[in-house]
Structure 1
Amino acid sequence: MWEWSCGLLRGVSPELDRPGLLCEFAVGFVQDCQDTYEAMASSTVRQRSVGEELKDKRKEQRHLKKIKDDAETKRKRKIILWILALTVLLSLSVYYYNYKPSKGRQQTPSPIPQQAPSSGINDAKSSNQSTTKSEPSSKKSPSTKEQLSKSKSKKNKSSSEKVSSKKEKALPKKEKASPKKEKASPTKSQKSGPASKSREELLKTKISDLPILRRPVPPSDPDRPLIMEILEADDYLKGGYYSEALDKFKKVLKRFKQSPRGLLGKALALEGLGKTKGSIKYLDKAIDIYYQISFEASSLANDDIKLAALMGLADCAERREKTTMLIKALKKAVVMEPMHEVYATKLAQAYMKGGQMEEAEKLLEDVINKWPGNSLAHANLGYLHYKGGRFDKAMPHLVKGLSENREIQKNPKFYLYTGETLSRLDKTEEAGLVYAEGVARGFFPSVDQRSLYNEPDLEARPWWKVNEVGEQVLVELEKMAPVLKSELMSAIETNADMFSDANQTQIILISKGKWNKRPCTVLPTLCQLLHKMPSATKCRRGETKVLLIPGPVHISSHIGLTNTNLRALLPLNLSGPLKIRMNKDTRELREGLVSVIDDSFEQEMLYTGKGQSLILTVDFWHPDLPETKRKKLSTL
């Protein structure tokens, strides 16, 4: 187009060269533009082709990878199928050889016929004869070699058949004795009778022994669609992975908020975390969920799940020392299962912890009437009679519980209760045997020293001298005895509110290492002296107090809790003799003089004075106990 137009211009005005030059320039410019455009188009086409090639390569790689993955999965499936087939075959063979041995041996005939040996031998002979007659021995073809090898194999088979036939001939001797066993075996009608019932009962007991989350779920149960997730979470729970189990049960509850097994599993996981980590927060959360399952009307749980929740609630409430919650849970468990002796016995123990001794005694008597062999109930009822001073009633129950129940045998307190009961009934030999058994089990340091919380390598003596314990403050207390007496007498007359009990019999100054500030305001001299004695002020297992005895009194034999303390006694006012028996050594205390005793030995006190008496008692650490152990020991 441009060239034609330029030609016209040149033909019209050949003189003028400028229009032609312009046209040529324009034509060149247009051609250059066309070339650049074509070059750009070809480059984009090339880029597109390269991108498509990369895409195709990726598609091919994905396709190949998919083919490889499919082949790998097929191979794995084949392996799994082979393993399953082998396990099925093995289980069938084990079942056959374990449960059907007599049928396979007696009813199936022997697979080897009796006439087979003779026929086989004759056939071999005839074949050998025919081959020898037809062809000479010198010329043996390959067919004759094959026939000879076959004849040899037949001979070997015939010899094995002979051996088997000999065994079969010996079989009838065993078969003659077998009919006696067959007569004793039950028939099919007998097997389908009471034997099947016993199996059903065994199955029921096995199901009841299963964990609550592992028991069969009926089709109408609301947890049926979630049973696989619940079992997976229970696996973590059984392995002790409580935090993972808690997450799994939370996922179950997201799908179904009122899932009974989901709630129970969550509570069990929280209880496990609370026990392992010692966290009160987790235990309180578990108590809330247990209570929701057991008592709320919206709960969808069946009786088995409710009973499991009640037992969990009782356990957590006992750990948290919530006695009312414990009694409430066990009461409902007894209502749901009135013939369950474990629930009834636990309820009686809960009554005892709550101080409801009359209800506990009635329930324990009822339990013993229903289940006379319940040794735990016997032991607890004996303890109640012992505390009530009814030693004649307590003795048979304590002896039965201590001799038959393993849990009671692990509790050293029942050795003390039983021994003291027997000694009160003048059965000292039997009491000595009980104490000796406690020493053999490692509960007591010796028969005479029967404290419950003991430390080794401490010198044990009933009586100590003041200069042997290394406490100079005790000597100062003796010197200041008249001043302390007058200070106490005036404080008692004017300050009745400093007594620590309603009967006004004791003034506690230090208890478990903590001061009582109120008495020190009116007894400054005594408190100043005691501040100089750190073994008494920091003694977390004892008390420092003033005893006020209004008249004659007899304190029966008793024993302190631990051998880590000694006790100093300072009578400040006596109107009569005061005698103390430590083990077998009886001594009389005098006013204004300090006596030191080890109250881990058996002791008894008798005061025959008619007037009022004042006695200062100071508990302090044993001198042989090192300072490192003193800091580690807990309170009692």
Structure 2
Amino acid sequence: MEAGDESFTQKKEKAKKKKPKLLNKFDKTIKAELDAAEKRRKRGKVEEALKAFETLVADYPQSPRARYGKAQCEDDLAEKLRSNDVLLRAIGSYEEVSTLPNVPADLMKLALKRRANRQQFLGRTRGSVVTLQQLVQLYPDDISLKNDLGVGYLLLGDNKKAQEVYEQVLLQDPSNGFAKVHYGFILKADNKIAESIPFLREGLLSGEPGTDDGRFYFHLGDALQRAGDKEAYTWYEAGYKKGHFASVWQRSLYNVNGLKAQPWWTAKETGYTDLVRTLEANWKIIRDEGLAVMDETKGFFVPEDENLREKGDWSQYTLWQQGRKNEKSCKAAPRTCAFLERFPESTGCRRGQIKYSIMHPGTHVWPHTGPTNCRLRMHLGLVIPKTGCRIRCANDTRSWEEGRVLIFDDSFEHEVWQDADSYRMIFIVDAWHPELTQHQRKTLPAI
């Protein structure tokens, strides 16, 4: 490489080390006042600093640095008071910085990036994306801003726009690891399994900030499994060693640490013996209500939509979802719902479901893991062909029996085969993990 011929990576490194320029010509004339106010902020005297910056804004309304200091103080105060109203004021102040004349480029970038970040924090994802779009227009050569915009589109659920952004990034910087893992993630979501693998793998191997995320290890391993590549477990092992998974087998991402972890459970181990007894004692009633719904119209059962099937026909009829009762569904299965009302550990499980599940011959469900270790899953056999139906959880494979409950932790890898000559119907009941406290059961967010 000749002298003066810098690589893209070297330029990025230099940009990182460069101290941002935050003062325009006018702000340099009031630097002492700005520094005094900033000193108070850095010492944690937020209210004092805010008053000082508000005075500066009143005295010098065209000062971008004073306005930015005011925004930072409001931001700090919002965190201190845990106040969304104060945070909204900060978001407005960050925007005001961008409307002033002669704003230094570094200050403009800092103000708008923080505005986008705070909008996202408040769940105002669409507003955050608009701010990021503004940043990308102002600084088209800053790849990190495009990467942030791609994440914004993903949070909005607009994978197509995110894909376009990451394609642009990879044209500018073909080795960008952050763009690669996200681009691979999008391809995988679009069921382009083989295409997703090199992007996910190379992105993770880059080690760049933002790539060391359990979701990417999870999806690379899953893509490799679906491609029949045993390297999947190498990546699961790497994800486990990085602390993203509880174990190579247990790969849920929304967890409570310290809960007892094993693939299969007995009713006695769960402590939910009354629930299990009730399900088994009334299995024929539960079965008959499910069959009545199934016979009335196939439209009542909704096809599985999580892209878990390699092939086949698998559909569900849901009674409770995320701790909320589906009143309309329960009208068609009133006795079943009445049995369950006695068991808040299940009906109140905001990280679970209660549903009928029908699987037709020729169905195979890919190896997969549930999202959380906070629940246990019960399967009550309702209509079970004599042979051909089995479920593997971790390295133990079992079969269903009519009128009997199987209990497993679906945060462990599990896989299902339906190779019988007729349909299989089971009743799925999720319940809180028995070691969760009452406080945790009330406060854990839904999944």
Range into which the TM-score falls when normalised by the shorter chain: 0.7 to 0.9
Residue 374 of structure 1 deviates from its aligned partner by 1.6
Confirm or deny that 1:417 pairs with 2:219. yes
- Residue type of the alignment partner of 1:253: V
* 1:542 and 2:352 are equivalent in the alignment: yes
Distance in 2 separating the partners of 1:341 and 1:586: 48
Structure 2 segments unaligned to the other structure (5+ residues): 5-10, 306-313
Q: Which residue does 1:301 correspond to in 2?
A: 103
Alpha-carbon contact 2:378-2:428 (below 8 Å) kept: yes
- Which residue in the other structure is 2:19 paired with? 210
Query: Which of 240, 264, 272 lines up with 1:463 in the alignment?
Result: 264
Q: Does 1:553 align with 2:360?
A: no
2:256 equivalent to 1:452: no
Corresponding position: 1:599 with 2:403 = no
The 2-side partners of 1:623 and 1:312 are apart by: 41
The letter for the 1-side match of 2:19 is: L
TM-fit CA distance, 1:376: 0.9
For residues 438-587 of structure 1, what are the structure 2 equivalents within 5 Å? 438-455=239-256, 458-470=259-271, 471-491=273-293, 505-549=315-359, 552-573=362-383, 577-587=388-398
| TM-score when normalising by structure 2 | 0.83
Q: CA deviation at 1:352?
A: 1.5
**What's the offset of the Cα at 1:609?**
5.7
Q: What SS is found at the alignment partner of 1:570?
A: strand
**How far apart, CA to CA, are the structure 2 residues paired with 1:305 and 1:628?**
44
For the 8 Å contact 1:559–1:600, the answer to whether it is kept is yes
Alpha-carbon distance in structure 1 between the residues aligned to 2:355 and 2:176: 43
Aligned to 1:368: 170
Matches within 5 A, 1:71-470: 209-213=18-22, 215=23, 217-218=24-25, 221=26, 223=27, 226-294=30-98, 296=99, 301-408=103-210, 410-428=212-230, 430-455=231-256, 458-470=259-271
SS at the partner of 2:397?
strand
AA matched with 1:363: V
On the 8 A contact 2:178/2:211 being kept in 1, the answer is no
If asked which structure has higher relative contact order (CA below 8 Å, sep 6+), I would say 2
The residue matched to 2:377 in structure 1 has which SS? strand
In structure 2, the residue matched to 1:190 is none
| Aligned AA (2:59) | R
Output the CA distance in 1 between the equivalents of 2:340 and 2:328: 15
Amino acid at match of 1:425: A
Cα distance, 1:551 vs structure 2: 6.6
Equivalent position amino acid for 1:437 in 2: A
Larger radius of gyration: 1
Unaligned runs of 5+ in 1: 1-193, 196-201
Cα displacement (A) at 1:633:
4.3
Q: 2:428 aligns with which of 617, 623, 634?
A: 617
The answer as to whether partners of 1:259 and 1:300 remain within 8 angstroms in 2 is no
More helix by share: 1
SS at match of 2:399: strand
Which amino acid counterpart does residue 344 of structure 2 have in structure 1?
Answer: P
CA contact (8 A) 2:183 2:199 kept: yes
Q: What code does the residue aligned with 1:246 have?
A: L
Residue 401 (structure 2) pairs with residue 590 (structure 1)? yes
Q: Greater shift after overlay, 607-616 or 445-454?
A: 607-616
Aligned partner letter, 1:594: V
Distance 1:207-1:237 versus aligned 2 partners, 3 A rule = farther
The 3-state SS of whatever aligns with 1:544 is: strand
Q: After alignment, is 349-358 or 508-517 more displaced?
A: 508-517
Q: Quick check: 1:234–1:265 contact (8 Å CA) kept in 2?
A: yes
Checking the alignment, whether the CA contact within 8 Å between 1:578 and 1:590 is kept in structure 2 is: no
Structure-2 separation of matches of 1:551 and 1:243:
68
Q: Quick check: 568-577 or 229-238, which moved more? A: 568-577
Which letter maps to 1:431?
Answer: A
Q: Is the 8 A contact 1:293 1:301 kept in 2?
A: yes
Structure-2 separation of matches of 1:207 and 1:403: 22
Judge conservation of contact 1:212–1:308 (CA < 8 Å) in 2: no
Name the aligned partner's letter for residue 526 of structure 1. T
SS at match of 2:275: helix
Q: Give CA deviations for 1:422-478 in whole Å, capped at 9, x if unaligned.
A: 3333331x3333222233233323222222244455443322334543322222212
For residues 206 and 585 of structure 1, the distance between their equivalents in structure 2, rounded to whole angstroms, comes to: 53
Q: Distance in 1 between matches of 2:43 and 2:299?
A: 58
Question: Residue 557 of structure 1: CA displacement?
Answer: 1.3
Residue 21 of structure 1 is matched in structure 2 by: none
Distance 1:322 1:550, change over 3 A: farther
Task: For residue 399 of structure 1, report the CA deviation from its aligned partner.
Answer: 1.8
Residue 177 of structure 2 contacts residue 208 of structure 2 at CA under 8 Å; is this kept in 1? Answer: no
Partner of 1:606, secondary structure, is strand
Corresponding position of 1:166: none
Cα distance in 1, alignment partners of residues 119 and 280 from structure 2: 50
Q: Is the 8 A contact 2:349 2:430 kept in 1?
A: yes
Aligned-partner Cα distance in 2 for 1:609–1:241: 71
- Equivalent position amino acid for 1:488 in 2: G
Give the direction of change, closer, same or farther, for the CA distance of 1:626–1:265 in structure 2 (3 Å limit). Answer: closer
**349-358 or 618-627, larger mean C-alpha shift:** 618-627
CA distance in 2, matches of 1:500, 1:237: 56
| CA RMSD, Structure 1 to Structure 2 (Å) | 3.4
Greater strand share, 1 or 2?
Answer: 2
Q: How many pairs are equivalent?
A: 427
Q: In the TM superposition, what is the alpha-carbon distance from 1:494 to its structure 2 partner?
A: 6.5
Q: 1:225 to 1:516 in 2, by over 3 A?
A: same
Q: Give the drift of 1:227.
A: 3.5
Q: What's the TM-score, normalizing by structure 1?
A: 0.60
